[in-house]
């Protein structure tokens, strides 16, 4: 029955039956440019099936010749052949025998260049163009006066992998624009001012592995600007270049992510000693129980030995909906220097805040 379905599928993309002597069929109707693919050839009547065949492959207005080798002896008038799909092929490609009359078989060809073949994620599993980047939450604390900390964050893929430059050069689909905004809101002071707000636009390239051999699960490489948008003595800004490798482990108890962000400073004129309090690495470890609990810890250690620790713990509340997604009860603990960029060299009392999260 399986082969009958294949033959029927091939017939729907063929010339009329009277003109089609040999029949081409495919098990899945797909191929990857530059990689091996397989077709099945069915002979008319008692015609012998050769050890090698030649196919004409048409993509748009281009016509290419592909030679294919038999993979096993013929059985029941059919034989499997394998060859290399031309690297220039992309989208819908039509195939037919070059030396004999046959039906026309249509394959969907995914185009992947060398970089994406090593580390890129297949287009079928790509994220949507606009997606979450870092956690998004709103938490309230009461130590040394009531304060609120909240954060918004997103990333946007700059090239669509299915059209234009992203389709022709798939590695471009790894470029993202990211934006994160974090604010500290003082609710105890008169007029309830924002103590400080950090604006962090970034441009980066990200990829994720698609095989079991690569020693790393993913990475981001990019540049980031951070500033508080103020003037004069209260102005703070820093430009960095960063690399963020990613490792992931799945266990019976849940999933673990280790994603340290390693960075170098390009410009820190307004805060020349910031590395003494932040250092050059954000050590980040994340745990996801697989349904309800999520915990993330981010540690920094400056070159002077000073640093900070941020711990976020979220509990999914499936009965509470915030917008179209489930909400999370969220607890955040911070201890150390530089909870905001204005006070990057100031240590305040440890703070525990409670609230909710949209993206933990």
Instruction: State pLDDT tens for residues 84-104.
Output: 888 777 788 999 999 899 999
**Are the C-beta atoms of residues 42 and 78 closer than 8 Å to each other?**
yes
More confident residue, 72 or 259: 259
- % the chain with pLDDT above 70: 87
Q: How many C-beta atoms lie closer than 10 Å to residue 59's C-beta?
A: 19
Note whether 181 and 296 are same-domain residues.
yes
Domain of residue 45, CATH code:
2.60.40.10
More confident residue, 339 or 167: 339
Please report the DSSP string for 51-76 in residue order: SEEEEEEEETTEEEEEEEEE-S--BT
**Are the C-beta atoms of residues 203 and 190 closer than 8 Å to each other?**
no
Note whether 39 and 187 are same-domain residues.
no
Cα(248)–Cα(252) distance, integer angstroms: 14
**How confident is the prediction for the chain on average, in pLDDT?**
87
Q: pLDDT confidence of 123, banded at 50, 70, 90?
A: very low
**Are the C-beta atoms of residues 140 and 345 closer than 8 Å to each other?**
no
pLDDT above 80: residue 118:
no
Note whether 235 and 298 are same-domain residues.
yes
Q: Choose the weakest-confidence range: 24-28, 45-49, 53-57, 67-71.
A: 45-49
More confident residue, 315 or 290: 315
Note whether 70 and 105 are same-domain residues.
yes
Mean pLDDT to the nearest integer, 172-180: 94
pLDDT above 50: residue 2:
no
Domain of residue 255, CATH code:
2.40.230.10
> pLDDT at position 140, please?
98
Note whether 91 and 125 are same-domain residues.
no
The domain boundary, picked from 63, 91, 110, lies at 110
pLDDT above 90: residue 12:
no
Note whether 106 and 154 are same-domain residues.
no
Instruction: State pLDDT tens for residues 57-86.
Output: 988 767 888 999 999 999 989 999 999 888
| Closest alpha carbon to 316 in 305, 298, 308, 328 | 328
Note whether 230 and 336 are same-domain residues.
yes
pLDDT above 90: residue 293:
yes
Mean pLDDT to the nearest integer, 277-292: 94
Note whether 168 and 120 are same-domain residues.
yes
> pLDDT at position 321, please?
64
Note whether 16 and 94 are same-domain residues.
yes
Q: Which residue has 């960029």 as its token pair?
A: 341
Mean pLDDT to the nearest integer, 31-38: 86
> pLDDT at position 323, please?
66
Number of structural domains the chain divides into:
2
Tell me the residue range of the domain where 189 lies: 114-359
The domain boundary, picked from 51, 78, 110, lies at 110
> pLDDT at position 18, please?
46
Note whether 70 and 92 are same-domain residues.
yes
**Are the C-beta atoms of residues 166 and 174 closer than 8 Å to each other?**
no
Mean pLDDT to the nearest integer, 281-286: 98
> pLDDT at position 116, please?
47
294: β partners: 288, 314
pLDDT above 50: residue 32:
yes
Which phi and psi (to 5°) does residue 143 adopt? -80, 130
> pLDDT at position 87, please?
76
Instruction: State pLDDT tens for residues 305-358.
Output: 999 999 999 998 876 666 666 689 999 999 999 999 999 999 999 999 999 999
Note whether 331 and 348 are same-domain residues.
yes
Note whether 135 and 101 are same-domain residues.
no
> pLDDT at position 85, please?
87
Mean pLDDT to the nearest integer, 289-308: 94
The domain boundary, picked from 110, 140, 155, lies at 110
> pLDDT at position 8, please?
43
């Amino acid at each position: 029955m399986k082969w009958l379905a294949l033959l029927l599928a091939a017939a729907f993309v063929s010339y009329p039956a009277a003109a089609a002597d040999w029949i081409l069929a495919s098990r899945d109707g797909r191929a990857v440019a530059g990689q091996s693919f397989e077709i099945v050839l069915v002979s008319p009547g008692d015609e012998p099936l050769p050890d090698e065949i030649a196919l004409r492959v048409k993509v748009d207005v281009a016509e290419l010749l592909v030679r294919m080798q038999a993979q096993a002896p013929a059985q029941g008038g059919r034989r499997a052949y394998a060859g290399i799909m031309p690297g220039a092929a992309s989208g819908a490609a039509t195939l037919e025998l070059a030396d004999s009359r046959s039906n026309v078989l249509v394959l969907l060809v995914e185009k992947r260049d060398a970089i994406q073949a090593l580390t890129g994620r297949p287009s079928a599993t790509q994220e949507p163009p606009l997606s979450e980047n870092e956690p998004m939450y709103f938490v309230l604390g009461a130590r040394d006066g009531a304060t609120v900390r909240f954060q918004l964050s997103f990333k946007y893929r700059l090239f669509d992998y299915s059209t234009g430059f992203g389709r022709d050069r798939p590695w471009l689909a790894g470029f993202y624009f990211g934006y994160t905004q974090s604010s500290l809101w003082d609710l105890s002071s008169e007029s309830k001012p924002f103590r400080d707000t950090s604006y962090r636009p970034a441009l980066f390239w990200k990829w994720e592995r698609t095989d079991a051999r690569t020693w790393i699960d993913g990475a981001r490489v990019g540049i980031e600007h951070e500033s508080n948008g103020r003037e004069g003595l209260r102005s703070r800004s820093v430009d960095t270049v960063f690399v963020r490798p990613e490792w992931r482990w799945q266990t019976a108890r849940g999933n673990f992510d280790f994603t340290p962000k390693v960075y170098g400073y390009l410009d820190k004129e307004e805060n020349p000693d910031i590395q003494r309090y932040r250092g050059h690495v954000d050590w980040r470890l994340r745990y996801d129980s697989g349904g309800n609990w999520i915990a993330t810890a981010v540690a920094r250690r400056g070159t002077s030995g000073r640093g900070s620790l941020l711990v976020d713990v979220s509990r999914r509340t499936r009965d509470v909906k915030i917008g179209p997604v489930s909400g999370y009860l969220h607890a955040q603990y911070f201890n150390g220097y530089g909870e905001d960029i204005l006070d990057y060299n100031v240590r305040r009392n440890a703070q525990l805040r409670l609230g909710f999260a949209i993206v933990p």
